[in-house]
Every structure is written in C-alpha cells, then in structure tokens.
Structure 1
Amino acid sequence: MDFRFDHIVHYTNNPERAVGQMKAFGFHAQMGGQHPDWGTYNGLCHFDLSYIEFIGVEDIHKAESVADNFLIKQIAAEKDLGDGLCRIALRTNDIEQAGEWFRQKGLIIKGPVEGSRRRADGSLLKWSMLFIEDQESDPYHLPFIIDWKQTDEERRKTLINQQIIKRHCLHDAKLAYAAVAVKDLETSIMKWKKWFHLDDKPIVFNKKLNARYCKLLLKGTDILLCSPTGDGLVADTLKQRGERPFLLKLSETKVEKKADLFGGTYLFGNND
C-alpha cells in the first residue's frame, strides 16, 4: 500500500492572519475557501503537493453538529485549547483499498467520508477521507487518509494552472518534515511503520528538543516521531495538548530562523 504526505492541518481562529504571516515570511499562500457542510474555512500554503492548511471555524454550531468527519469533530472538541497544529493527512489514490488495508491490520475504520470546499471563484472541490481509531492512544493523533480522485500528475497540473502551486519568494522552499509528539517512541514507530507501510531512519537524540526522534520516510514530506527525555517543547506538547504534530521544518529557505506561529513552531533553513 502506497501512502504519500498530503498536508498538515493547523487550526487557527484567524486563517487570514496566518496566510498574511506566511506571505510576510516570503511564501506563496492564499485563502482556500469554505466547507459549507462543516462550518469551517481555510487558507493554503503549498510546497508542491505537500501543503499547510490553516483551518478556522466560522459557524461553531454547525461544526459541533458534524457526526462523520473526525477532523471537524476534533477541531470542535478542542476549540478551548486555542491555535495549534492538530493533524496530518496522508494521500492515496484508492481509498477503498486503503480501508481494507487498515482493516486487515485490525484497525477500526470510519468512512470513507465525502468532503467538499467552495473555492473563492465559486467552483466546488470534492474529495474522500478515511479516519482510523487507535483505542490505545490519543483518539485524534493518527493521520487521516485523503483521496483527491486524481493522479498526482493531474492534481499538480490543476494546482499550477490555478496558481495555488507557485514558486515562493524564498525560491525552492520545501516542507521537509512534520514532527509529532508521542509518549512511547518505540511503540509508535512500530505501529506507524506497520500501519502506513513506511521505512525509517535510526533513532536520534536532539538536544534542542530534549527528545529522541525517529524519521519516517514519506513521499513529499517526512514525519518525525518525537518522545521527550526531559523538559522542553515535546514534553510541553504532550502535557498541554496530547499526542499530535507540534513543529514544521521548512528547508531551502535561504534563511535560518525559528518562528512561533499561531500555536505551532516553524523552523526555517537547512539546520535542525
């Protein structure tokens, strides 16, 4: 089974400001549109087919009434936590096969769930999603699966024609990896490798994070599973928000900096 990194969801009560901040940093970012059935809307910042989705709520009552979309259920349930990175999406071109793959692994599957978004030009974009339950951990920390009903080549061409994928002022900037805080590193590595059919690199200690991490290799953008060895950003994430993404690394930016953006940590440059 082939899974690729699709996007990371960054919840914020002001996607417009998040898009504006990314533009100020030198990235091509723009508002996406509305999710009519969910009471949410978003902004987008693409790095080829990998992208950051800044999602916000414009109708909390509608969002709280959603029953089948577990991303929206998460956003509604965690609204009091404030802004922050919240979920990773992996891409497939066969969501039915993906569902069978997870069922064979003994996992409980929710979906497929049909999604749509009204673009700024009025056109309607559609996709399908699959959600996975992990009874032994944080109920929302696992990636969800998305199927755009297009090949990567078709989707890339469409997004370029719509100027959603466009060269950044920072030239060849890439979404290098998304870091996820986990409580038990070895167990999480074993599960994620098995469930998402991933290869990995050896475990490494990161002094700045005060954490051990393992890089899982994905087409588009890698994932770092991080477990704390003491006080620091990873430990704080687990204490305050549970197991979830907390940091993004943007490489090839020609600048080295760290930015705290709407409850998430962004690293720019080639050095960790």
Structure 2
Amino acid sequence: MKLDHIVHFINRSPQEIVDHLSVMNIKAVKGGRHEKWGTYNSLLYLNSSYIEFLAIENKATAVQSENPLIQQAVQDLATFEGLGQVCFRTENIEVLKQELNEKGYKTYPIFPGERMRSDGQLIRWKMLFLQAKRKVPFPFFIQWEQDDHTRYEEFKTLGMIDQQLIHTKVKDIVYHVESPEETAEEWCELFQGKQQGTNVMIADVSFKFDAYNEKHACKNRPVYITLQPFLKNEKTIQLFGSSYHSL
C-alpha cells in the first residue's frame, strides 16, 4: 500500500490553481472532468503521489452522486475550502475489501471511476470507501487501470510532472480532530501502522492528530501537509484554506 494522493477541495475553477501556482514557478496541470459526478480537477504531481484540487462543476449532478468523496466535497465546500481527504493505492481492491469486511469494517460498494483527460485520453480506476467510526473520514483506496511504472512514465513523457518536484514526497499530514488519541488508535489498527502518542506512521507518511480548538478553521480534516523537498525560498505557503510546509 502506498500514498496515492491528497484531495484539496476548492470553490473555484481548477485552472485558477494552475495559474496561481505558475506565478510561484510551480507546475500544476489540468486534470479532467468526472461527468458522472459533476466534478473536475487539476493536479500537482510529486515523486510517487500527487495533490488533487477537486472542484464541483455541476452541482446538481454532484449532489445526487452516491460516491462518498463527492458527497464530502459538496458538504465541505458549503463552508470552507481546503484539504479534505487522503487516498492510498492498492493493487487488488477486491481482496482488500474482503479483508476489511472480515475484520469488521463496513465498506461501500466499489466505485468505478473515469475522467477524460485534457489530451482526450480516458483514464479509469476503482475506488473503495470505508464507513467512518467517528467524524474523521477514513482514507479511501484506489486501484488504477495502469500499473505505477506505466502511469508515471506517461506523465513524464507528456510533461505533466514538474522536474523540480520529481523527488518531492509527502512527509506528514496534520489533522485537527476532536479526539486525537482515539483517532490515532483507530487508524493504527486499520492500517497496521506504527503509533507514537497521537502520531501514526502509515506507508512512510506520518499522520499527526492534534486537538481541535475554536481557533482552528476546520475540524476533523487535514489542515496542512509537509513536503520534502518542496520550495527553496519559502518554508510555508497558504493555498486556498490550507498550508503547505517545506522541509
């Protein structure tokens, strides 16, 4: 299991993200449209994962979607923009679903996904969601139609990856939650991670659960991520409701 991507919900056109980052000399690219879900996105590719900036293009379609990620996007974007979800990559999503069910976790049916890329190519995948035990959504899982090597070699050929970010990895993801200890224990159990206090190491990424207080903009969601290496001249950038830190 590997970190696949982090979802950042935005209340604006994905092209605005591309333009905004371009001014900072960071290359993001237009992703495509999810017509069945009423959403569209832009993408910032890193070493072996990426940031997805997800926006609602057709609210009527999005509201009717049964996909839990789209449901969360509709709910969250009604009050704030910012980081909202985390996705892990798996190679056999059907077996994973069965294993999780046998361990007592309640899962949704596997969702097929597709989007038309800006170059006209249709990209396909499968998604698996778990029912959360508390208000912090569990990460979801994805299985791509193409294998990792083929996908990333294609991204390089198409010039979709910023060369200065080709070695950049997500080091940690910080959440503000109502129950840090209980949340850390649940995630450690689910992912068989390594726990130290309210920090859990999962697939080489540290998840940190800090206590929420009224000074924080949102609760039970990721609030900032740390990338290594990221920006040479700035340690932190604020980007549409969330913070991106650099090591």
Given candidates 159, 165, 169, the residue that maps to 2:161 is 165
2:210 counterpart letter in structure 1: S
Q: 1:149 and 2:145 equivalent?
A: yes
Matched, 1:263 2:241: yes
Question: Within 2, Cα distance between the matches of 1:165 and 1:259?
Answer: 20
1:254 paired with 2:232, answer: yes
Matched AA of 2:189: K
Q: 1:181 maps to which residue?
A: 176
The equivalent of 2:201 in structure 1 is 216
2:93 to 92, 95, 120: 95
Task: Give the conservation status (yes or no) of the 8 Å contact 1:159–1:165.
Answer: yes
Question: Using the alignment, how far apart are the partners of 1:236 and 1:19 within structure 2?
Answer: 32
Alignment of 1:229-248 (within 5 A): 234-236=212-214, 240-248=217-225
Per the alignment, residue 84 of structure 1 pairs with: 82
Equivalent residue number for residue 7 of structure 1: 5
SS in 1 for 2:45: strand
Contact 1:93/1:149 (8 A) holds in 2 = no
The CA deviation string for residues 106-145 of structure 1, in whole angstroms up to 9 with x for no partner, is 111002100011111111100000010023x11x621011
1:26-72 Cα offsets, whole Å, 9 max, x none, are 322111111111111000001122110001111100100112x1000
Is 1:73 the counterpart of 2:50 in the alignment?
no
Unaligned 5+ runs, structure 1: 204-212, 229-233
- Give the drift of 1:83: 1.1
Aligned pairs, how many? Answer: 245
SS for the counterpart of 1:48 is coil
- Percent identity (aligned): 29
Structure 2, unpaired ranges of 5+: none
SS for the counterpart of 2:70 is helix
Contact 1:188 1:225 in 2 (8 A): no
Deviation (angstroms), 1:172 = 4.2
The structural deviation recorded for 1:155 is 2.3
C-alpha contact (below 8 Å) 1:258/1:265 kept by paired residues: yes
**What TM-score do you get using the length of structure 1 for normalisation?**
0.83
Supply the AA of the counterpart residue of 1:163: G
Partner of 1:207: none
Quote the offset at 1:176 in angstroms: 2.4
TM-score in terms of structure 2 length? 0.90
